């Protein structure tokens, strides 16, 4: 049942731009799923859904899909380009400053595009910190970020 419900959530966010958990919950109820707000919230976390802007600029839930060639994923590139204010590094740490509320969305994009180049990332409201294995990897990552930002 959980798998079917989560599949329905993915279908709903692909076909409609839901802004709230309540909207998703109401649609799930209509589809025959007996859910509470906390169930929807848990499903959103398990599915790793984020709120961000879609290709049309609408603010909505987005699913994190791993692409075969993630470096060419225009949606993540646009999310990065639109959400980042500045970035810098020190030794094996990279810090990205984002517009308010955008760090989580940008962090998902960074993880999808460059997850293999870092040990991990952590996002707050407007700041992301990324830890790499070395200063050289931080420099390489910064160069990749600049390519997207200047594209």
CATH of the domain at 17: 1.10.10.10
Q: Which stretch of DSSP H or E encloses residue 93?
A: strand 93-98
C-alpha–C-alpha distance, residues 18 and 43, integer Å:
15
Residues 89 and 140 in one domain: yes
Report pLDDT digits (tens) over 36-84.
Answer: 988 998 888 888 787 766 666 666 777 765 333 444 457 788 889 999 9
The pLDDT, as a whole number, for residue 21 is 82
pTM confidence score? 0.55
Domain identity same for 75 and 124: yes
**Cα separation of 137 and 116, whole Å?**
11
- The enclosing domain of 82 has a CATH number of 3.30.1360.40
CB 5 within 8 A of CB 35: yes
From 15-19, 55-59, 65-69, 110-114, the region with the lowest mean pLDDT: 65-69
Give buried/exposed letters for 103-135 (b at 16+ CB in 10 A, else e). bbbbbbbbbbbbeebbeebebeebebebebeee
What is the mean predicted confidence (pLDDT) over 105-115? 89
Q: Which domain holds residue 47?
A: 2-62
* Tokens of residue 17, six digits: 């731009």
Residues 121 and 141 in one domain: yes
pLDDT category at 130 given cuts 50, 70, 90 is very high
């Amino acid at each position: 049942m959980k798998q079917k419900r989560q599949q329905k959530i993915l279908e709903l966010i692909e076909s409609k731009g839901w802004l709230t958990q309540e909207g998703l919950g109401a649609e799930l109820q209509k589809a025959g799923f007996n859910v509470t707000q906390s169930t929807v919230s848990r499903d959103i976390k398990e599915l790793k859904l984020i709120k961000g802007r879609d290709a049309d600029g609408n603010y909505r839930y987005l699913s994190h899909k791993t692409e075969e060639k993630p470096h060419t994923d225009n949606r993540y590139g646009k999310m990065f380009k639109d959400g980042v204010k500045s970035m810098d590094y020190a030794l094996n740490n990279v810090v990205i400053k984002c517009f308010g509320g955008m760090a989580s969305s940008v962090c998902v994009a960074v993880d999808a595009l460059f997850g293999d180049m870092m040990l991990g990332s952590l996002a707050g409201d407007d700041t992301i910190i990324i830890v790499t294995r070395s200063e050289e990897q931080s420099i390489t990552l910064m160069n990749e970020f600049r390519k997207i930002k200047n594209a």
